[in-house]
Structure 1
Amino acid sequence: MPAADAAPPGTAASIEGVAPGRALAAAAVAGAADGNAADGVTHFSTVAEVQRHLAAPPDDARPMVRWWWFGPAVVKPQLEREMLAMKQGGFGGFEIQPVYPMELDDPSRGIRNLPYLSPEFLDAVSFVNQKAHEHKLRVDMTLASGWPYGGPHVPVTEAASRMRVAPVDLPAGADSVALPSIGSGERLVAIFVGSGDARKFDATALKLAAPAQANGRAQFAPADGARVAVFYIASRTAQQVKRAALGAEGFVLDHLSRSAIDHHLDQVAEPLLRAFGDQPPYAVFSDSLEVYGTDWTDDFLAEFQRRRGYDLKPHLPVVYGGQGQDAGALRRDWALTQTELVNERYLTPVDDWARKHHTRFRSQTYGEPAVSLSSNRLVALPEGEGPQFRQFSFTRLATSAGHLYGRNVISAETWTWLNSPAFSATPLDMKVEADRMLLQGVNLFIGHGWPYTPPGVQEPGYAFYAAAVFNNHQPWWNVMPDVTSYLARTSYLLRQGEPANDVALLLPNDDAYAETRPAKVSLSAEMPHFVTPVLMEQILDAGHNVDFLDAEALRDSGKHYPLIVLPHTTRMAPDTLERLIRHVSAGGKLIAVGSKPSLAPGYADAAAVTAKVRKLSEQLFSMPGVQLVADDVALGAAIGKAVAPDFRAASQAAGLGFIRRKLADGDIYFIANTSNREIRTTATVAARRANAAWWNPHDGSVTPAQVVPSMGLVLAPYESRVLVLSDSVKATGTSPTAAPTIVTLADLSNDWQLSFPGAGGALEQPRGLAKLGSWADDAATRYYSGIGVYRKDVALDAAQLKGGRIKLDFGIGTPLESTPTVPSGMRAMLDSPIREAAVVYVNGQRAGAIWHPPYQLDVGALLKPGANRIEVQVANLSINLMAGQERPDYRLLSARYGQRFVPQDTHLITPRPSGMLGTVRLLSVTNP
């Protein structure tokens, strides 16, 4: 969930190093006879093995949904109905996420909010688990309600912690000052005195004091001038669990405290797991770390001394004031210590607990506190969030960690902020965001999400306050199996073989740590200042995909990249520089952007360490194969000199994305047009194999391709394709060598019959349409959400059916330059000629679904000489129905439970264009 509302520790760490932690997981076993890797997920190493499952991907690749239980006010019959609907729609399972109530208890309507962890709630969990196994659906369980972890079991002494700084004026001649009030869960850590006043003082000049304290006052020797006394108080953030279910309200726990984590596992996780009986969930889940304001824990000073080798207490004013030349080094040490603590006291214990209970820990490991990329090595299932393919993203942190540490399946919370408000998102919106996730290396989608809706609730049912809806209350549910088939097939393909990115970007964690500040200690928040959009674009447009890397992964993962990029790096440990020297000595290339490493990462012995850093840096940058470029814009050209492109388009590169997986005898390239315009170019690929084929990600069909020396590439807006190069498997047929010849057999744009089955009354009766247009423009159907059935007969003779393929074409859609009315998230910047999806029948047989460009279907096999009946079942959005209704009144709900949510962007709820809007043609397509 976005902030936007958004082996055990082992030996002690050295002064500059993090404890080695658990041993690296062994890489998944590829190419086993049964195709199953060590994690139980289908994983092959040869092209033939992968192709064998292309038409029907394994169930473990199917997307999942986050299943919101509001209240929770759930009943067993509806729970099972919704699970069966998920399966019918092509979803492979769900993550249970209990959240805030949507309604007050109402016995007359069967609404009863079950308190979190109550026997009734746990019985519902047990029931769902049993039925899910019967229906062969995966079950994941969130180890909390809402996020981050916390609840009523968290006493103030285990609540998320922070340092509170309280400056107090000490007037001239004064010999005492009132101590700040020390509340529950607080403790006075240190007192400093110096010149200045409570509004402005020089933190570097403050002196640690130990005044006598009596009767609520601190005693000081009088002085002639005015001074300031600054009190440093270990305090609590007071953050409450966000979006908590009934009975789950309370403090967010201290993620740097082992006792707080152990208490949570005992009070929350254990009862939840007992509800699963002898069938534990596939995984237990933690959402993104949004522990706002945390930067301390009770034993922080002692842990800091042990890890960094010096006492932090005298330096507190500099750390929390940010003044002086040492502030960056001190803050780096302070923030790094927090990463080590969250690794050892939160991630490792929860992962160990999950393994002990025969499940897996799935974690969104980014945010606050400051976890690192390599923190993901401590969890079984890394998860990302965010579709920012051409920028720094949380998703690429997770996928890169998976590539580095042998986690073959990397999931992503997907569609979190898709086309607000709720019920606005379309199947094309889903694909546009999903493709950007795939391009980053995601290969399991966790859809955000599926709102449980009690029986009898007015359509279109419940919606989460800030998310799209992907359940069977959407009219376009008729194409959901087609959408999920695409998602499953692409996920399956991007799990096979091994990741194959040639470029790694070494994240400047130490520089980012140095830039952190009190109450905002987050590597992922600071990193975009170093890894800028321009820098990412330079790498991608140079014909490469990219993994992130950090110093720990460089040390531990064993992964080799032909090229490593250092973005705006000044602080670096000597041992990291030594590894980079070994990388270049072994033939690797390196490019630094903007600066060379020149400073010790931290404070201890900084002068001596800095001297060593500069000596090693000069050695590194004197080596062949190492470049220093002045700025981000110069990076692309430098990459071109260093390594050959993996996939390079002759033009329109900014709209294209790709990712490659390497097999023993082939390569899989997923290629996507991420723009709303057609791309027409040529492209070259670095991999050289004997054979090439296009594998259709929508239906699994295979056709030959020609890629030597380059290939023509035509992609419709937002179209994606899969290119497979193979030494052993050759596709049948011949690949086209020139553009096809297209002839219009019939213009079908006029004279359709339209009806609305199930709408009631006259709407169910067919009516003639002289021309196509939006049914939302008609007062009778302005607020209609559902399916409109278009029928038309077309006569064809035998001559017209001979020759080429025959396609039913609905037009190209309209690119959008901007969407100022969509304030949150993303959407497809294209208005479809079909609003929003359709299933097509020809002579009573299903021809396929229309929900993404190109808006065409091959229908030749279903046509016959003479009369042909074409039926197009078009589904629109539920938002049209909502636009004709009053918004719910949550006044009484908020009075009872407090305002736990505010529905997002409700002022944008208006009817959207609906139906067939474009030119419809029957085309004959002949390839030379």
Structure 2
Amino acid sequence: MSLRTTLLVATALSLTLAVNAQTEWPAITQTTKPWTRWWWMGSAVDEQGIKNQLQQLDNAGFGGTQVVPIYGAIGYEDKYINYLTPQWMNMLDYTVATSKNLNMGVDISVGTGWPIGGPQVTTEDAATKMIIQTYTIKAGEKFKDKIVINDEKQKGIPEVFLSAVTAYDDSGKAIVITDKIVSDGSLNWIPPTGNWQLYALFVCKTGQKVKRAAAGGEGYTLDHFSSTALSNYFKKFDEAFGNSNHGVRSFFNDSYEVYGANWTPDFFDEFEKRRGYDLRRYIKDLSKQSNDEQAARIKSDYRETMSALMLENFTTKFTEWAHNKKSINTNQAHGSPGNLLDLYAAVDIPESETFGSTTFHVPGLRRDSADVQSVEPDLNVLKFASSAAHVTGKKLTSNETFTWLTEHFKTSWSQCKPEVEHVFLSGINHVFYHGTTYAPANVPFPGWLFYASVNFVPQNSLWPHLKGLNEYITRCQTVLQSGEPDNEVLAYWPVYDSWANPKGLDMAFGIHQIDNWLCPTDFYTNATVLHAQGYSLDFSSDKMLAEAKVINGEIKITDKGAAYKVLLVSKTTYMPVATLQNIIRLAQNGATIVLQQLPEDVPGFNNLEAKRKQLKELIASVSFVQKSNGIKEAVTGKGKIIIAENPAQGLAYANIERETLTDNGLKFIKRKIDGGKYYYIVNHTPNIIDGPVTLNTIAGSVALLDPQTGKTGLANFTPQKNATNVKLQLEPGEAVIVKLLDASKASGKKWNYIGENLKPIALSNSWKLHFKDGGPVIPADSTIESTMPWTDLKDDVATQSFSGTGIYSTTFKLNGKKADDYTLHLDKLYESARVIVNGKDAGIIWSIPFKLSIGNYLKKGENTIEIEVCNLMANRIRYMDQNKIEWRKYHEINFVNIKYESFDASKWDVMPSGLGGVITIAPVKFSK
């Protein structure tokens, strides 16, 4: 074969592979599958139980587990295995080995329950707080009291000590008189003149212990601001693990939920080292709760120092420790009194959390107000974790998903779908279910359960159809873990505006407190509005901007991180001089900056006037020219700075084009891949989308990938100037992935667009109803004239309490297969179904819209159809509570409802179960 022939064959093969690749899904891996948090209650596990449950998880489509030991079940105390003992490590080793054989991964928490802590945490290393006591003394007066801690809970603790005493006269003059206190608390100081207030700061202990701790994990919560405390904490792990990670992929730390921990023993010294002045002189300002500017500035410095200690002494050290074990780490930064972006960025896998359920306007989606939390997951909160991953080049952002999605036993897989889509749209691409509880085989229904989880357990009556949800998530994550993020806008988070709050002291940025620290800000408003308008954003911190550089006109925080076309700075009252210097530096090096307004002031207290002068000089050094629509522009160096009161106008002026598909209510997120892009598009509106949708990407070929079914095909599209119009057909609740490649127009299998729905075939014959795989009692078989929920068959009392599978079967005649396809439509489905046509498995219907393509399974003449419906666990639990059948026997919190009250299902209404309405088969003609 000649060289020319060889090249032609190779080129043809390359083109063929390119065409095939256009409609192929990315490869499935461990991490593209969903993982689940695996609660080990009391660590009362054994090898057979571990093996059985891992096999069940594997069969359901899970890629791995996150082992978290927690409190145990009553009556099984003799089965408890103390955390990190040799026996516990043997169970971990068996878990890892068994998981490896199933191609599954294993993560473990670095503690039991949460927050991090345990028996190795001494009182000295325990979470610490300050207590300030005040006294008065007059000139020439001998102080008769003793300056000792008054709090009875703190007395007798050797590690509690007086750290500083500062005296203030009527004019505000401060004198640190700590050295005037003798060992018994007596004051050896008499003021010569005036009236004085004494402020005594004691280093005390919060006394908080690990919540929901497992056997061997009980103990004090850790002082997160002390590197010594963390080092001491990990000594127990070092003894247990040695120099090996024992096959653990990642060590996990849960969210910061340490209450009242606002100090660490050497805080004064750490503060002075970082802020440049002695905080002992300003103890009074720490205790103020008024709109006092000096107090606000002191508190801002205090909070900035807390943030630095959290980052340097806990998060970074945790990452180093995991790396020393030849492993990686996962950390939930939310709730921490620190800059969340920097904390998330300092770990290998930043992990966020969804708590509660979101309101979606998808017809038919059940959302009973009595069964949901009052808080809703917020997209912008989730983006803190994904932004940190994106700007630093980390491939995975994980999420604790479905925590308290609905009331226990009432969550359907159809309710999970839009919630996990909400997570994906934030940039998260590695989902962990919350969660699965290990249970011994001899524990009767409903097995062991965790009080705040959706019950992703084999005992769940919906378990047979969980694979439908898992396959959907897997397909989505194969795409969302491919390539790189593609967000054009980098939005600066002005944390100093939050830190300047004169009220309170330590400031934890928790997901349940966003009404205090996030929602009232212009940053939040802009991020929300711009996202709805079709702009793609990530967030950045002051530290990130200090590390940023400009490459080919785009901003990059790290070499491996994403590139951004513009930096957006929302209205900001307080900005450090260094941050503004970095913004100007980026502009001079070729970046485009959009400011909503120039910063008004500098944060903090030390050298205030000098820093204010620097800020003003910096601002004056940039010369702005008035443009149209109130926009100002300054060309500086290779780049420019734009001032626009309306950020969208500023972005448009900077030639950042929004994606107009959001005008139809569609939501999206993009990924860059070699030679093209992915768009993940979701329809959470009540409207059908049927027509061209414009995407701001030039493409030579376009494919559609359906994550619900796995089907793929080449799309109808029309090139536009700097864009592509792609024909989409999306019903409410559906999602699609659009793959746009630069390559020339491809040939191959076309996407099947629905051109015409012919007259539907109503399945009007009688139905047989048979029950299996459930309880407490299997209802009797019956014949019904038309489909109805089996809970409407009230003559059989067993139907009111049954949770399991009911099989509806009927026959119908098809005169001939004249359509291109046939779609089964279920009018009312409670809750999911597997469809069997002529003895062949046609698939699972588990999400809205309740439909399934079955054309390939139909034949001319008589056809049989079986619809195996699984219902919720609710009716069986209701029966058990009404009949006082004990099933919840746990230590600690035992079992609570969604309002954190004692759980009782006895007064619940019966939840509809089975099929309802008219079942039809719609013949479909595909459009040309």
Report the TM-score, using the length of structure 1 for normalisation.
0.84
Greater displacement, 838-847 / 341-350: 341-350
Structure 1 contact 805–858 (Cα < 8 Å) conserved:
yes
What secondary structure, in the 3-state scheme, does the structure 2 residue paired with 1:289 have? coil
1:651 pairs with 2:625? no
Equivalent residue for 2:49, pick from 78, 82, 92:
78
Partners of 2:70 and 2:213 within 8 A in 1: yes
Aligned partner (choices 670, 692, 695) of residue 685 of structure 1: 695
Q: Would you say 1:362 and 2:349 are equivalent positions? A: no
Among 738, 755, 762, which residue is 2:770 paired with?
755
Shift of 1:260: 0.8
Measured against aligned partners, the alpha-carbon deviations of 1:376-417 in whole angstroms (never above 9, x if no partner) come to 332122212238899464421111111111101111111112
Distance 1:392 1:543, change over 3 A: closer
Q: Write the letter of the residue equivalent to 1:546.
A: L
Deviation at 1:705, TM superposition (A): 2.0
Change (3 A) 1:532 1:386: farther
| Equivalent-residue separation in structure 2 for 1:288 and 1:761 (angstroms) | 38
Do structure 1's residue 486 and structure 2's residue 453 form an aligned pair? no
- Equivalent residue for 2:205? 236
Asked if residue 265 in structure 1 is aligned to residue 200 in structure 2, the reply is no
User: 1:493 deviation in Å?
Assistant: 0.6
Q: Give the alignment partner of residue 397 of structure 1, picking from 384, 387, 400.
A: 384
CA distance 1:585–1:119, change in 2 (3 Å): closer
Change (3 A) 1:687 1:214: closer
Structure 2 match to 1:875: 870
- 1:386–1:282: structure 2 CA closer, same or farther, 3 Å change rule? same
Partner of 1:834: 829
Matches within 5 A, 1:466-481: 466-481=452-467
Q: Does 1:785 align with 2:754?
A: no
Match among 413, 438, 457 for residue 443 of structure 2: 457
In 1, are the aligned partners of 2:404 and 2:898 still within 8 Å (CA)? no
- Cα distance 1:390–1:688, how it changes in 2: closer, same or farther (>3 A)? farther
| Paired AA for residue 556 in structure 1 | E
Deviations 1:308-365 (A, max 9, x none): 2222211222133255322333222222222222222212222112112111111112
Asked if 1:246 corresponds to 2:233, the answer is no
Residue 539 of structure 1: aligned partner:
530
2:166 to 184, 192, 213: 192
CA contact 1:807–1:856 (8 Å) conserved in 2: yes
SS of structure 2 residue aligned to 1:884 = helix
- Distance 1:391-1:588 versus aligned 2 partners, 3 A rule: farther
Tell me if structure 2 keeps the 8 A contact 1:392–1:536: no
- Quick one: distance in 2 between partners of 1:883 and 1:147? 31
Deviations 1:573-604 (A, max 9, x none): 233223323444566443334x4212223322
Question: What percent identity do the matched residue pairs reach?
Answer: 26
Aligned mate of 1:852, from 835, 847, 860: 847
Cα 1:312–1:759 shift into 2, 3 Å = closer
Tell me what 2:602 maps to: 600
Q: Amino acid of the residue matched to residue 848 of structure 2?
A: P
The letter for the 1-side match of 2:660 is R
Unaligned runs of 5+ in 1: 1-45, 197-201, 812-832
- 1:522 corresponds to 2:493: no
Other structure's SS at 2:500 match: helix
Deviations 1:166-186 (A, max 9, x none): 223558956332323263221
Q: How far did residue 502 of structure 1 move?
A: 0.7
Structure 1 residues 401 and 265, CA gap change in structure 2 (3 angstroms): same
Question: Separation in 1 of the partners of 2:460 and 2:576?
Answer: 54
Q: Does 1:167 align with 2:134?
A: yes
Single out whichever of 519-528 and 915-924 deviates more from structure 2.
519-528
Distance 1:414 1:278, change over 3 A: closer
Tell me the residue number matched to 1:444: 430
Partner of 1:8: none
Residues 765 and 811 of structure 2 are in contact (CA less than 8 Å); yes or no, is this contact kept in structure 1?
no
Name the SS for the 1:432 alignment partner: helix
Q: Does residue 614 of the first structure (1) align with residue 629 of the second (2)?
A: no
Write the distance in 2 (CA, Å) between the matches of 1:483 and 1:621: 56
* Alignment match, 2:757: 742
User: 1:806 matched to which residue of 2?
Assistant: 822
Distance, in Å, in 1 between the alignment partners of 2:825 and 2:185 is 82
Count residues in correspondence: 838
Cα distance 1:376–1:478, how it changes in 2: closer, same or farther (>3 A)?
same
**Which one of the candidate residues 107, 112, 115 is aligned to 2:82?**
115
**1:320-331 equivalence runs, <5 A:** 320-321=287-288, 324-331=292-299
Gap change, CA 1:557 and 1:751, over 3 Å in 2: farther
Q: Are residues 1:770 and 2:785 paired?
A: yes
Distance 1:490 1:878 in 2: 28
TM-aligned CA deviation for residue 494 of structure 1: 1.0
Over 3 Å counting, the alpha-carbon distance change for 1:54 and 1:590 in structure 2 is: same
SS of residue matched to 2:595: strand
- C-alpha spacing 1:531/1:707, structure 2 compared with 1 (3 Å): farther
- Letter aligned with residue 651 of structure 1: D
* Alpha-carbon distance in structure 2 between the residues aligned to 1:115 and 1:890: 27
Please report how far the alpha carbon of residue 487 of structure 1 lies from its aligned counterpart in structure 2 after TM superposition. 0.8
Q: Which region of structure 1 is more displaced relative to structure 2, 672-681 or 610-619?
A: 672-681
Q: Quote the Cα distance in structure 2 between the aligned partners of 1:225 and 1:233.
A: 25
Which range moved further: 859-868 or 425-434? 425-434
CA 1:705–1:378: 2 relative to 1, 3 Å: same
The verdict on how the C-alpha distance between 1:372 and 1:135 changes in structure 2, with shifts beyond 3 A counting, is same
Within 2, Cα distance between the matches of 1:570 and 1:49?
Answer: 54
Match of 1:914 in 2: 913
- Unaligned stretches of 5+ in structure 2? 1-16, 359-375, 550-555, 557-562, 625-632, 635-639
Match of 2:564 among 561, 566, 569: 561
Equivalences for 1:305-320 in 2 at 5 Å?
A: 305-320=272-287
- 2:812–2:864 Cα contact (<8 Å) kept: yes
Cα distance change of structure 1 residues 226 and 572 upon mapping to structure 2, 3 Å threshold: closer
Over the aligned positions, Cα root-mean-square deviation in angstroms equals 3.1
Name the residue aligned to 1:291.
258
Structure 1 position 342 matched with structure 2 position 310: yes
- Is the 1:838–1:850 contact (alpha carbons within 8 Å) kept by the matching residues of 2? yes
SS of match in other structure, 2:31: helix
Question: Are positions 1:213 and 2:182 aligned together?
Answer: yes
AA aligned opposite 1:786: G
Q: 1:575 aligns with which of 566, 574, 578?
A: 578
Q: Do the aligned partners of residues 375 and 178 (structure 1) sit closer, same or farther apart at CA in structure 2, a change above 3 Å counting? A: same
CA contact under 8 A between 1:561 and 1:588: conserved in structure 2? no
Residues 900 and 786 (structure 1 numbering): CA distance in 2 closer, same or farther, change over 3 Å?
closer
Residues 135/649 of structure 1: CA separation in 2 closer, same or farther (3 Å cut)? closer
Identify the residue that residue 627 of structure 2 maps to in structure 1: none
| Alpha-carbon distance between aligned partners in 2 of 1:133 and 1:491, rounded to the nearest angstrom | 21
Letter in 1 for 2:699: R
Q: TM-score, normalised by structure 2?
A: 0.84
**Residue 736 and residue 478 in structure 1: after superposition, are their counterparts in 2 closer, same or farther (change >3 A)?**
closer
Residues 80, 427 of structure 1: alpha-carbon distance in 2 compared, 3 angstrom cutoff? same
Q: Return closer, same or farther for 1:794/1:899 CA change in 2, 3 Å cut-off.
A: closer
Shift of 1:447: 0.8
Q: 1:351 to 1:720 in 2, by over 3 A?
A: same
Query: Distance in 2 between the 1:761 and 1:440 partners?
Result: 42
Q: What corresponds to 1:662 in structure 2?
A: 672
**Matched residue SS, 1:609:** helix
Cα deviation, 1:249-271, whole Å, max 9, x if unaligned, reads: 1110111111111111111x224
CA shift digits 1:750-782 (9 cap, x unpaired): 622111024589956531122333223333311
Indicate the SS of the match to 1:95: strand
Following TM superposition, by how much is the alpha carbon of 1:293 offset from its aligned partner in structure 2, in angstroms?
Answer: 1.7
* Cα pair 1:650 1:681 within 8 Å, conserved: no
3-state DSSP of counterpart to 2:697 = coil
CA contact (8 A) 2:533 2:660 kept: yes
Contact conserved, 1:505 with 1:549, CA < 8 A, in 2?
yes
What per-residue deviation string (whole Å, max 9, x for no partner) do you get for residues 519-562 of structure 1? Answer: 53234553443266543331112211210111222232541422
Deviation readout 1:72-99 (Å, 9 max, x if unpaired): 2222211111111010000011011000
Distance 1:735 1:125, change over 3 A: closer
- 1-side partners of 2:688 and 2:196: how far apart? 68
- Structure 1 counterpart of 2:325, which letter? H
Query: Which one is further off, 863-872 or 693-702?
Result: 693-702
